[in-house]
Amino acid sequence: MKWVTAFTLGLLTAIGGCLDIGDLVANSIVGSRFGMSLAWVLPVGIIGLMLFTEMSARVTAVSGRATFDLVRERLGARAGLANLLASYFITLLVLSAQMGGIALAFELASGVHYLLWVPVAGVLVWIVLWRMPFEWMEKSYGLLGLALVVFGVALWRLSPDWSGLLASATTLAPPPDEDWSVWWYYAIALFGSAMTPYTVLFFSSSGVEEEWTAKDLGTARVNIFFGFSLGLLLALAIMACAAVFLMPAEVQVTDLDQVALPVVSALGRLGLVVVIVGFFAATFGAALESGLAAGYSVAQYLGWSWGESVSPSRTASFQTVLLLSLLVGVLFMLTGINPIKVTEYSLVLSAAALPLTYLPIFVVANDRGYLGDRVNSRFTNILGSVYLVLLVVVSVAALPLMVYTKAGQ
């Protein structure tokens, strides 16, 4: 695996996984309502994502097989089916939200209502998945996603009270006019946005696409830690921009154009152009990731031939799942349901299903039959066990909090 290729894979995974429509919206909503008081959730979530993605990458590099493929073999058909159903449903909901996100980015650029752009988004994603080689997919959308660095530039230009931001970030409590239950609801949504299950599945399957071996493991780790760390910094910048600009103006984020307001205020028309490029790259990259993840999960469970590097004529069933998943996502968005609401619900449902994704990865990463002496270290197992307990707590609390707070209202 070439270093540049691995680097762009890390960027695509980080931008699509850490800064998709869910992250863009969740970070902006949280910043505008709670300031930086929930900033701590992001590093907690991203560290967990790094931890389990590294396990998944190690399983793939050593065994030469995708993690989900081994989960079914190791845990059996029933446990694998439960994992598949949860993973596919959440991924399909996320894919639908990304279709809406792409359409909203086009609306922001053109002024044409987003519903007219939804079918266009679906066709474009399908063309890229059908025709573009995997390596070019990584390079194009991974590098374009770097346009979201504009949020960091905007934050600097807004000249915030840095000590005030730090004080807000270390105040682990909601503002006086916000309820604790709502604060915790958004903490769970933010955590779900950081640990989106499809990211791990996509990264592992990408390793099979690129024929990783144990020699590539070091490069994969560097890109996991670098890519997700960059995604974390950009997510914090988006939250901070909302806290500095939107919160004092009492702007409640309900659309993607409001996420862009701090950038436009700080950088003008040029900032708007760059942020639209960033929105498009992030949502389009996430649509590619989640679409592929949906196809990967079904094909690997059923033992079908799959992959972007394999001729479509040899992966007809895999390609059919991709097409049907995209079609369902487009049709769901065409019902007129608010893409932002779909995004918010997908984050909470994702949080509720997290143990079903990450526990099997943990089990496989400790199996010497697959990994030999490359199984988890004692430190990794301790940290992983702590996260699994946290994931169960989050899973149990997610849906009751959503009902009790009326989805954060």
Burial 20-32 (b: 16+ CB within 10 A, else e): bbbbbbbbbbbbb
Residue 212 and residue 220: Cα distance in Å, rounded? Answer: 9
CA angle 16, 22, 24 (to 5 degrees): 80
pLDDT tens digits, 105-116? 999 999 899 999
Written as one letter, the residue type at 218 is G
The answer to whether 259 and 150 have CB atoms below 8 angstroms apart is no
**Residue 37: HSE in the Cβ half-sphere, 13 Å Cα cutoff:** 20
Has residue 17 got a pLDDT over 80?
no
Has residue 141 got a pLDDT over 80?
no
**Cβ atoms within 10 Å of 386's Cβ, excluding its own:** 12
**Tokens 């066709």, located at residue:** 123
Supply 347's token pair.
């984050």
pLDDT tens digits, 236-284? 999 999 999 999 988 888 888 899 999 999 999 999 999 999 898 888 8
**Tokens 């394999």, located at residue:** 310
Has residue 296 got a pLDDT over 90?
no
pLDDT at 13: 56
Supply 334's token pair.
């065409």
The answer to whether 121 and 21 have CB atoms below 8 angstroms apart is no
pLDDT tens digits, 316-347? 888 899 999 999 999 999 998 888 788 778 87
CATH class of 3-404: mainly alpha
pLDDT at 205: 80
Has residue 76 got a pLDDT over 80?
no
pTM for the full predicted model: 0.87
Residue 340 and residue 360: Cα distance in Å, rounded? Answer: 31
Supply 295's token pair.
């196809």
**Cβ atoms within 10 Å of 311's Cβ, excluding its own:** 9
pLDDT tens digits, 153-207? 999 999 999 998 999 999 888 998 889 999 999 999 889 888 887 778 877 787 7
pLDDT at 2: 46
pLDDT tens digits, 351-367? 888 888 888 889 889 98
CA angle 373, 376, 379 (to 5 degrees): 125
Residue 205 and residue 220: Cα distance in Å, rounded? Answer: 13
CA-based nearest residue to 239, from 39, 17, 21: 39
